[in-house]
Structure 1
Amino acid sequence: MLPAANRLTRSQDFGLVVRRGRRAGRPRLVVHALVPATDPLAQPTLECSKVGFVVSKAVGNSVVRHRVSRRLRHVVRDRLDALPPGTSLVVRALAPAAAASSAELGEDFDAALRRLSR
């Protein structure tokens, strides 16, 4: 489970990250990242990284969507310490994520973060 302090919950926060943040797409997911050090208009008061997930009906039915979101939460939780403080992420699952294992989702997430860090 992701700690409450590390969750994006407000719609405005999701919108801000998607609009202003950088994006890296992979075959199974898309990661939007907003790092306060690179964006002067980002909220500088965040001391911990925050993550939000978007898993639409295109991924599958309710059971499949919840399975994908649980796998993504587990993948991201293990990598939170590697993110710069104050980073906001939105992880959007694509339809192929339904058939992906946790290891495949982790590889895609790591590749997206590497691409964003350039």
Structure 2
Amino acid sequence: MLPEPNRLRRHSDFSLTVRQGRRIGRRDLVVHARSVSGANEAVRFGGPRFGLVVSKAVGPAVIRHRVARRLRHICMPLTSRVPAQTDIVIRALPGAATASSPELEQQLRAGLRRLGILASTSSPELATESPSSSSPS
């Protein structure tokens, strides 16, 4: 489950992201992203916010909820790699019902990279590895 600060809740936030944000389509997903900035936006804490749209076209309720759970699980590790002032809406297409979780994750990451939202793959943990292991003894 995504933490509360990382969830889009209000209809107005969804609408602004879909209407004003950039969009990229994938086979099973459409990713909308909007950078939140400006004087009219409140300062917020907690990182990027993700919202999901899983319509009845995806399937019956059991399938829709399964797709939403899988997408939320995929979004959790992305919260540390996406800029904090970003709202992202992920719209599942009917093919998402039969796509595997790795396929959905690959499509979401590719979409975010294409939009220029996803940070580089280098992580700070790799840069701070213990220098003693590489020094000659």
The percentage of aligned residue pairs carrying the same residue is 50
User: Matched residue of 1:58: which SS?
Assistant: helix
Q: Which has the higher contact order (CA 8 A, sep 6+)?
A: 1
Separation in structure 2 between the aligned mates of residue 42 and residue 54 of structure 1, nearest angstrom: 26
Separation in structure 1 between the aligned mates of residue 102 and residue 53 of structure 2, nearest angstrom: 19
1:52/1:91 contact within 8 Å kept = yes
Separation in structure 2 between the aligned mates of residue 41 and residue 15 of structure 1, nearest angstrom: 19
Aligned AA (1:68): V
Q: Deviations over 1:41-68 (max 9, x none)?
A: 7725133211110000000000000000
Structure-1-length-normalised TM-score: 0.92
Aligned AA (1:32): H
User: Matched residue of 1:14: which SS?
Assistant: helix
Aligned AA (1:84): P
Aligned AA (1:36): V
Separation in structure 1 between the aligned mates of residue 14 and residue 100 of structure 2, nearest angstrom: 26
Gap change, CA 1:22 and 1:44, over 3 Å in 2: farther
Q: Which runs of 5+ in 2 are unaligned?
A: 118-137
Q: Computing the radius of gyration over CA atoms, which structure comes out larger, 1 or 2?
A: 2
Instruction: Give 1:86 deviation, angstroms.
Output: 1.2
Instruction: Give 1:13 deviation, angstroms.
Output: 0.5
Separation in structure 2 between the aligned mates of residue 101 and residue 109 of structure 1, nearest angstrom: 12
- Tell me what 1:81 maps to: 80
Aligned AA (2:4): A
Q: Which runs of 5+ in 1 are unaligned?
A: none
Separation in structure 2 between the aligned mates of residue 3 and residue 96 of structure 1, nearest angstrom: 27
Aligned AA (1:67): R
Separation in structure 1 between the aligned mates of residue 39 and residue 106 of structure 2, nearest angstrom: 31
Separation in structure 2 between the aligned mates of residue 52 and residue 36 of structure 1, nearest angstrom: 14
Gap change, CA 1:96 and 1:41, over 3 Å in 2: farther
- Tell me what 2:7 maps to: 7
Separation in structure 2 between the aligned mates of residue 45 and residue 97 of structure 1, nearest angstrom: 34
1:35/1:87 contact within 8 Å kept = yes
